Amino acid sequence: MPRLDAARSAVYSQAVLRSTVRSPTLGLILGLFITVTAVVVYSWYTSAQISRLRKLQSEFAERNRKDSLQLLRIQNDLNSLGLAMRDMLAAGETHSISAWSSQFERIRADLGDALRLEAQLAAAERTPEQRQYLSNSIAQFWDAANRTFSLARDGNEQGARDQVRLSLQPLQAALNNAVSRLLVANNESEERASAQVLQIYDRVQRQVYLFLAATLAAILVTGLYLIRSNRRLFAQLTNLSSQRSELAQKLIATQESTLRHISRELHDEFGQVLTAIGALLARAENRLKGDATTREELREVRDIAQNSLENIRSLSQSLHPVMLDETGLESTVDWYIPMMEKQTGITISYEKSGASFPIDAGAAIHLYRILQEALNNIVRHSGARQAWVRLRFLSDAAELEVEDHGRGFAAQTPKPGIGLVAMRERAQLLDAVIEISRPAQGGTLVLLRVPRGKLESDGQ
């Protein structure tokens, strides 16, 4: 009942521990979702800002630049008209004004093409009145030019010159002023666009800094949460490992106690009973001197009892060697190796080296069980007919090696058996290092290294 209560208490404590420790998975998934969402939203925002910059730079700024070039072309044509009108007035009576009509037509064609392109590239913020004013002024200028050349063709040179002086030149000056104002407006628009671009750059830069700060904060919070969760998980694992080690220690101690009890019961109770039966049979055989048949049968029964006694003693020694408590580990190994060879038919080479030192019975049973399990694995799995056992006593530790050149550990069963787990548990109870490797000749090499301090104290 006390063991059952202890088991229930352990199960209850583990259930409480599982119920109080919350998994960090949900928090990590939520943090990942928030981070990914923030990255997606910020990427969309950045793409929108970059698109706006591209629109300002390519669609507006570039269009404004091309419009300014057309306005400069218009202004250049107007200046050419101004120079032509100056030459017309300076020529006097020697040249007819109609001689400049071809030059005016050429400038008119180029000016018309420039006005058409400029109308397509004009800024959206230009009012309809501004657009109409330029068109009307150009139309008035060419109407006046047509009247001037018409007067010159009719022979009225003076009237034509008066028309140039009083009408064409003022219209040309007004057109120049209008085009200059449009150029100034374009320059101002370009400056405003540049200012907007700078503002967008500044805003994006601030948003980048804010986003980086938020990202670093999220990473910091997530990292702290991970550290806290890992500490809790490692604390839980440490607690579970401690409980598992304690449970393994108690199970192994219980197993050894049970095997020791069974071994003693077999040796003492059944051994004494079979010994008494053998003695009684021998006494009965001596009393029946005349009946040879009955004596032969009694002798056969006595031999069966003797064989059973030897088997029980062998089984008792296998379960828990009495000599392990009485004479120690070395004597037990010296007895166990030949017995193992006799039972299995495997040749075992045993080598002992170093200055031996006393080994506590609690630690000795663990070393004996590991040796026993390693040799049993050779018999069951390796297929080898020869094995090597080496027991070395060092200044600070003891080493036990069991080697065979059979199929090897990789060729054994895919799942490790309970024996291998028990070997590791016993090694852990001794704070020992156990290594299972493949030697150069093939097979399996089991190496156990136990600190001397654990061998000289109670290993259980």
Predicted pLDDT at 8 = 43
Q: 79 with 177: CB under 8 angstroms? A: no
The Cα 318–Cα 338 span in angstroms is 13
Please state, in angstroms and rounded to a whole number, the distance separating the CA atoms of residues 350 and 359.
19
Cross-strand pairs, 445: 403, 437
Give the pTM: 0.50
Q: Does 12 score more than 70 pLDDT?
A: no
Residue partners of 318: CB distance under 8 A and separation at least 6 = none
Residue type, 344: T
Residue 256: pLDDT above 80? Answer: no
pLDDT greater than 60 at residue 415: no
Q: Is 168 exposed, middle or buried (0-12, 13-18, 19+ CB in 10 A)?
A: buried
pLDDT of residue 388: 94
Q: Cα–Cα distances in Å, from 378 out to 384, 387, 401, 407?
A: 7, 8, 13, 9
pLDDT tens digits, one per residue of 89-109:
887 667 788 888 899 999 989
pLDDT at 289: 67
Least confident of 67-71, 92-96, 355-359, 400-404: 92-96
Domains and CATH numbers, the chain: 25-221 (1.20.120.1730), 327-456 (3.30.565.10)
Nearest to 161 by CA among 82, 85, 62: 85
* pLDDT mean over 12-38: 63
Residue 386, pLDDT score: 92
Structural tokens at position 104:
């005016």
Q: With 60 as the cut, is the pLDDT of residue 412 above it?
A: no
Query: Residues 206-216: pLDDT tens digits?
Result: 877 887 888 88
